[in-house]
A and B are shown apart, each in its own frame.
Chain A
Amino acid sequence: MHPILDLRHRPAGALVGLALVAVALLVLPFVLTGIGTFWVRITNLAILFCLLALGLNIVVGFAGLLDLGYIAFYAVGAYVYALLASPHFDIHLPFWIILPIGAAVACLFGALLGAPTLKLRGDYLAIVTLGFGEIIRIFMNNLSQPVNITNGPQGISLIDPFRIGSFDFSKTQTIAGLTFTGPMKYYYLLLLVLIVVIAINLRLQDSRIGRAWEAIREDEVAARAMGINTRNMKLLAFAMGASFGGISGGMFSAIQGFISPESFILVESIMVLSMVVLGGMGNVWGVVIGAVLLSFVPEILRYTVEPAQKAIFGRMILDPEVIRMLLFGLALVLMMLFRPAGILPSALRKRELETRRNGR
């Protein structure tokens, strides 16, 4: 079992640490609301990106299949939710029915992408997946005629929020004297989903299936000769990664209330891939850190670059947007130079060191 989740063999100190992290995560939205409600929204988007990065990590990190069109599955999930819970078709299904449908449809698209690309690897696979991502986006953009399915570039608005009976995730509510805003409620839901997805990732990695993926990543010919059905395992990786993307897409749809093809451009795919690479491919915690960093740092820069310039130079010299991308690019280049394996080194290497220290 992964050490972090192995509560039975943990010393008391670590348990206290875990409890502190849990309390911090629970209190976080109240603190953020103090600074500004938009920070809770930013946090929610960061968690969504964590979910996406963890899904992509299955494909890229575990199975070693470079996927540059991952955002397409996010788009599929988002559109499935939007179409089944908005005035667009006047269908309003509850979210616990749509999310599994979205995951299943995304899963199907994952297999659709996987099947023709089974024999491709590396750069060639990257190009095909990139094309696939664009195809999905262009479909979303153009499926407004002759029958209006996606409403084209205008996108779909007034998407239903999550509702359980009369409990509405988008409305502010006071429970036990505490005021919970819509974004705060979504935050707790997202946090729960994130914990589940992290647990699934960790368990998958340390299993027969995870080992088979890693074997394919390391040497496909040898993996096949060892009795691994590489076709099925690769399809499984694509399908699992895609269904995580589909679920995140559905939640994105509900939280934003509005989606359009604009949200699913190539840059988003590259962003998610950067999170995986920056954090450390194949390392679940690294990927989470990468996603959190790449979601927050640009936002923090957005709100600090302008005042900082005014304070130092007395006037704006560079547009915040320009500096943001500049620093972002610089950070990525520095990472590749000094820590090419990502912020956290591969889980395997760490496991190796740990067991050696324990004298096994």
Chain B
Amino acid sequence: MTGHPTLLSAAGIGKRFGGVQALTGVDFTIRHGEIYGLIGPNGAGKTTLFNVLTGIYEPDDGSFTFDGQPLVGLKPHEVAARGIARTFQNIRLFANLSAVENVMVGRHVRTKAGVWGAIARDRRTRREEEGIERRAHELLEYVGVASRANDLAKNLPYGFQRRLEIARALATDPKLLALDEPAAGMNATETASLEALLHSIRRDGTTILLIEHDMKLVMGVCDRVLVLDYGKRIAEGPAAEVQKDPAVISAYLGGEVALNLKGA
């Protein structure tokens, strides 16, 4: 954090799948410490943008600059090491590992013990293991899953699984936490507590990139919002302004409805 206001900037990101242009010239910047929303109708390219950012796909055009360094041609695990952690739209926990072990896996990228350490169990490895376990329990406490620390991830209730995925991502000590529809399928109470969690993550210094369909949540937590439609950026700015943007309304409601609204 060198006082540089920009954490992540994307310049002209494009991605094609065969004949389908999933993303076209997407530009945006995320500042340190903000919660940045990414919205758009289904199929707008939000998750593709996530996958391009986190190294699952390589962009066909454009580039990302993260924390002052270009993110080019990095593998997903290298992106994680640079400080971007993500969750998945359809939960991807390690189903047959316990909750705490899921989070412990997240510490992998910040720890070093190798095969010899594992076999010899020298003092340094033991200390590292203790640190991993302690941090994992802290994070479970933080997201509110501590009571089920030793349950297998697959046996946790849905809301807990979503939170556990966030804890696992936080375990990699990310500078940017990228959440792909964390509130999907949650009821109002669960969404409210998720909102509180997002606020406290930001308060503790982690920048958040949030894909979300729940507009109430987006409007409640996001400082700024990027709107995608058919792979293109159609609006960007503070949430309240974007909400009134005619292009956004037309993307969500269909062109005619938007025109009628204007006429009315």
Contacts and interface: CB of A to CB of B under 8 A. Distances in A.
A331 interface: no
Contacts of B117: 207-208
A203 B108 contact: no
Contacts of A355: 150
A149 interface: no
Contacts of B108: 208, 211-212, 215, 226-228
10 contacts: A207-B118, A208-B108, A214-B94, A224-B56, A224-B77, A226-B77, A226-B106, A227-B77, A228-B105, A346-B96
A236 B119 CA distance: 14
Interface in B165-200: 168-169, 171-172
Interface in A228-256: 228-230, 236, 240
A226 B150 CA distance: 20
Interface string B79-123: 011000110100011111110010011111111011101110100
B41 interface: no
B141 interface: no
A349 interface: yes
Nearest to A349: B152
Contacts of B81: 227
Interface hub of B56, B80, B150 (most chain A Cβ within 10 A): B150
B54 interface: yes
A226 B118 contact: no
B119 A200 contact: yes
Interface in A127-149: none
A222 B108 CA distance: 13
Given A222-B88, A225-B86, A203 B119 contact: yes
A209 B114 contact: yes
A215 to B, nearest CB: 5
Contact of A204 (B86, B111, B119, B171): B119
Nearest to A207: B118
B101 A227 contact: no
A325 interface: no
A218 B152 contact: no
B151 interface: yes
Given A207-B118, A226-B106, A352-B152, 6 more contacts: A208-B128, A218-B95, A218-B96, A227-B109, A351-B150, A352-B151
Interface string A175-207: 000000000000000000000000010011001
**Secondary structure at chain A's binding surface: helix, strand, loop or mixed?**
helix
Contacts of A229: 75, 77
Given A240-B115, A348-B101, A352-B151, A227 B80 contact: yes
Contacts, number: 120
Nearest to A239: B115
Contacts of A225: 54, 56, 76-77, 80, 85-86, 88, 92
A225 B57 CA distance: 12
Contacts of B56: 221, 224-225
Interface of B: 54, 56, 75-77, 80-81, 85-86, 88, 92-98, 101, 104-111, 113-115, 117-119, 121, 125, 128-129, 132, 149-152, 168-169, 171-172
A208 B101 contact: no
Contact of A211 (B85, B104, B128): B104
Contact of A230 (B77, B94, B119, B169): B77
Given A212-B105, A352-B98, A352-B150, A224 B119 contact: no
A346 B105 CA distance: 18
A223 interface: yes
Nearest to A224: B76
B118 A208 contact: yes
Nearest to B80: A227
A208 B75 contact: no
B97 A218 contact: yes
B118 A209 contact: yes
Nearest to B120: A203
A348 B80 CA distance: 27
Given A208-B111, A226-B108, A348-B101, A203 B77 contact: no
A225 B106 CA distance: 9
Nearest to B95: A218
Nearest to B168: A226
Contact of A226 (B111, B114, B172): B172
A77 interface: no
